[in-house]
Amino acid sequence: THNYRIASIPADGIGPEVVSAAIEVVEKLAQTMKTFKIEFTHIPWGTDYYKKHGRYVDENVLDVLRGYDASLFGSVGAPDVPDHVSLWGLLLAIRGPLQLYANVRPVRTFPGTQSPLRSAKASDIDWLLYAGHGGRSHVGQPWETATEVAIFTRIGIERIMRFAFTAAAARPRKLLTVVTKSNSLRHGLVLWDEIAVEVSKDFPTVKWDKMLVDAMTIRMVQNPSSLDVIVGTNLHMDILSDLAAALAGSIGVAPSSNLDPTRRNPSLFEPVHGSAFDITGKGVANPVATFWSAAEMLGWLGEEDAKELLMKAVEGVCEAGILTKDLGGAAMTKDVTKAVCEEIERLHGK
């Protein structure tokens, strides 16, 4: 049996609440199935760590993470630290250097929950991380200028495009929508469009189309079942994936994988949502997004059966109406966690 070592980085806000719930569920899975072993090591990076050490992560952050098979992350961001400081200090300090370039955000509805997308099939959103690069000059002057320049490289676009076409080719409907904004962004996004055409030639079975990001928001609401796999830039997909999550029921169920498809570096798994200051410490955070992220992690590590059992257990618990407030229920984080653990045992015993 495999013995996996996982870095647990719960960090800020509701991060520790949902990550500890996910660890409980995954440990239950390992004890029940006995087909794999898994050991979580707590890593204290986050805003408290920053206030103590003046930095969000260890200096040797990459060496630390390379000692694990994967990371399970919560959320970074606190009310008293500017968001760009916390985000670049922790999450983006990991994603870029580890080349976790494929950010995969599956979206689906769960039984027993309400959604405009209820009738639609599951869809995947895969997005590209680009490096923000810019500067400010003449600070405080009337002519103060700030620029935010997105850098698009052929290699960067091509690898995420290939990843998306490969994902689409593996799904039953084989549809891919390339999200763009090449009417107004006529350099980077035109290159993006050109590379989509080139890469598509290697994937004759995939039926693909192109969509401007603004029109895409309409299509997601009005014709969700016409979508299957979606690929776009970091900024566009960050926005569309929150919309997709809300359409699927709640941001509280949306998972994400930050993958290095070459498998040279350990990948990172986290819920799409952030620190959720408004509900921190109340015990009402929906842990499903982190359960699903942990399931994706198990699948990535090769434990497909464990992934499937965990997702079946989550479905069963939703169907039984054990839902947190964001999904219209009254269950607490710990109620959902306990119910998923019991469902794992029940399903495994069948």
Give contact residues for ligand NAD (rule: CB under 6 A).
14, 18, 75-77, 83, 87, 91, 251-252, 270, 273-279, 285-286, 289, 324, 326
Determine the Cα–Cα distance for residues 24 and 124; give it in Å rounded to an integer: 27
Q: How near is the Cβ of 166 to Mn ion at its closest, in Å?
A: 24
Instruction: Return the number of the residue (126 or 270) whose C-beta is nearest ligand NAD.
Output: 270
- Using alpha carbons, list the distances in angstroms from residue 71 to 100, 128, 342: 12, 20, 25
Instruction: Return the number of the residue (96 or 321) whose C-beta is nearest Mn ion.
Output: 96
In contact, 56 and 86? CB cutoff 8 Å = yes
Question: Where does this chain touch Mn ion (CB under 5 A) — which range of 120-128, 136-144, 230-238, 337-345?
Answer: 230-238
Provide Rg for the chain, Cα atoms: 20
Runs of H (alpha helix) within the chain:
15-33, 47-53, 61-66, 83-89, 91-95, 154-169, 188-200, 213-222, 234-247, 288-300, 304-319, 333-349
Sequence-distant (≥ 6) Cβ neighbours of residue 80 within 8 angstroms: none
Question: Where does this chain touch Mn ion (CB under 5 A) — which range of 68-76, 128-136, 187-195, 238-246?
Answer: 238-246
Helix then strand count (H, E) for the chain reads: 12, 12
Instruction: Return the number of the residue (59 or 278) whose C-beta is nearest ligand NAD.
Output: 278
Determine the Cα–Cα distance for residues 308 and 322; give it in Å rounded to an integer: 20
User: Judging by beta carbons within 10 Å of its beta carbon (0-12, 13-18, 19+), is residue 344 exposed, middle or buried?
Assistant: buried
Instruction: Return the number of the residue (18 or 318) whose C-beta is nearest ligand NAD.
Output: 18
| Contact status: 92 vs Mn ion (CB under 5 A) | no
Q: How near is the Cβ of 274 to ligand NAD at its closest, in Å?
A: 2
Instruction: Return the number of the residue (180 or 256) whose C-beta is nearest ligand NAD.
Output: 256
Q: How near is the Cβ of 75 to K ion at its closest, in Å?
A: 4
Q: How near is the Cβ of 257 to K ion at its closest, in Å?
A: 12
Q: Which residues bind K ion (CB under 5 A)?
A: 75, 270-271
Residue 26 has which token pair? 């995954």
| Contact status: 193 vs Mn ion (CB under 5 A) | no
Q: How near is the Cβ of 205 to ligand NAD at its closest, in Å?
A: 34
Q: How near is the Cβ of 213 to Mn ion at its closest, in Å?
A: 15
Determine the Cα–Cα distance for residues 293 and 339; give it in Å rounded to an integer: 18
DSSP 170: T
Instruction: Return the number of the residue (169 or 243) whose C-beta is nearest Mn ion.
Output: 243
Q: Out of 27, 158, 238, 342, which residue is the one contacting Mn ion (CB under 5 A)?
A: 238
User: Judging by beta carbons within 10 Å of its beta carbon (0-12, 13-18, 19+), is residue 273 exposed, middle or buried?
Assistant: buried
Q: Which entry of ligand NAD, K ion, Mn ion, none binds 22, CB below 5 to 8 A by partner kind?
A: none
CB atoms within 10 A of CB 99: 16
Q: How near is the Cβ of 310 to ligand NAD at its closest, in Å?
A: 17
Q: How near is the Cβ of 95 to K ion at its closest, in Å?
A: 12
Instruction: Return the number of the residue (76 or 318) whose C-beta is nearest ligand NAD.
Output: 76
Instruction: Return the number of the residue (229 or 254) whose C-beta is nearest Mn ion.
Output: 254
Q: Which entry of K ion, ligand NAD, Mn ion, none binds 83, CB below 5 to 8 A by partner kind?
A: ligand NAD
Size of the site for Mn ion (CB under 5 A): 1
Q: Which entry of K ion, ligand NAD, Mn ion, none binds 238, CB below 5 to 8 A by partner kind?
A: Mn ion
Which one, of 195, 198, 199, 192, lies nearest residue 213 by Cα?
192
Question: Which residues contact Mn ion by CB under 5 A?
Answer: 238
